[in-house]
């Protein structure tokens, strides 16, 4: 197997950072801090390149013949206005934070609502292929939690037995959210170990 310089550098840097977390020796901790600082800089530059590429793609879309996208100018203008106001007021400004949050939160809420409906529709379509206890459980729980989270049952008094049960059931999805976070963490860990050991080499281009 051909080993490149990029592979050696990536594996060595990953092992040093990993060992520095496991054995916090002063020398290893200092080197790991340098590596992590460089990683943050590289990630920032990669984000900037991604933003410039996004602007470039949307800049060309309104001028394409036959397949013009007139939403792209709205994106570019909105991005430019947000960037200028953010640089002028700085992200620490309360008014700027309030305006951004007032736009971002409804958009994220709409996306989550679409995701929940999409999951229910996907489960209903799965019934055409196969049926089982787990599928019924998922469908029923998804519908119930959509109803509970929609605020349709706020008509019950706060201290009634029904409201207590609703409050208890609303806590259950947190277990699923924590399971998803654990899955993401384990997946990230396995991906990092595969890169460290040279099984995956995305740095070779």
**Residue 203: per-residue pLDDT:** 58
Select the more confidently predicted residue: 193 or 105.
105
Select the more confidently predicted residue: 118 or 175.
118
Contact between 138 and 123 (Cβ < 8 Å):
yes
pLDDT in tens, 46-59: 999 999 998 888 88
Tokens 């709409």 found at: 110
Interhelix angle 133-149/94-126, rounded to 10 degrees, is 150
Select the more confidently predicted residue: 158 or 48.
48
Which range (17-26, 139-148, 156-165) has the least confidence? 156-165
Q: How far apart are CA 178 and CA 7, in angstroms?
A: 34
pLDDT in tens, 68-89: 777 888 888 888 888 888 888 8
Q: How far apart are CA 180 and CA 118, in angstroms?
A: 18
Does residue 128 carry a pLDDT above 90?
Answer: no
Tokens 């309104």 found at: 62
Q: How far apart are CA 31 and CA 17, in angstroms?
A: 8
Contact between 73 and 62 (Cβ < 8 Å):
yes
- Rg of the chain (C-alpha set): 24
Quote the distance between the C-alpha of residue 160 and its chain's center: 37
User: Which candidate, 65, 4, 27, 58, places its Cα nearest to that of 205?
Assistant: 4
Domain ranges of the chain: 1-89
């Amino acid at each position: 197997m051909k080993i490149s310089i990029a592979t050696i550098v990536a594996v060595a840097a990953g092992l040093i950072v990993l060992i520095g977390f496991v054995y916090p020796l002063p020398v290893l901790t200092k080197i790991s801090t340098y590596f992590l600082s460089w990683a943050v800089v590289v990630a920032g530059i990669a984000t900037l390149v991604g933003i410039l590429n996004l602007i470039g793609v949307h800049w060309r879309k309104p001028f394409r013949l036959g397949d013009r996208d007139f939403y792209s100018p709205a994106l570019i203008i909105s991005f430019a206005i947000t960037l200028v106001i953010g640089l002028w007021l700085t992200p620490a400004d309360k008014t700027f934070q309030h305006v951004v949050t007032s736009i971002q939160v409804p958009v994220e809420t709409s996306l989550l609502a679409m995701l929940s409906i999409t999951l229910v529709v996907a489960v209903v379509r799965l019934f055409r292929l196969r049926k089982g206890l787990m599928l019924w459980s998922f469908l029923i729980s998804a519908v119930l939690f959509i109803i509970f989270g929609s605020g349709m049952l706020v008509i019950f008094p706060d201290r009634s037995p029904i409201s207590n049960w609703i409050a208890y059931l609303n806590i259950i999805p947190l277990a699923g959210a924590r399971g998803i976070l654990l899955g993401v963490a384990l997946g990230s860990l396995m991906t990092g170990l595969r890169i460290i050991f040279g099984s995956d080499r995305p740095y070779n281009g």
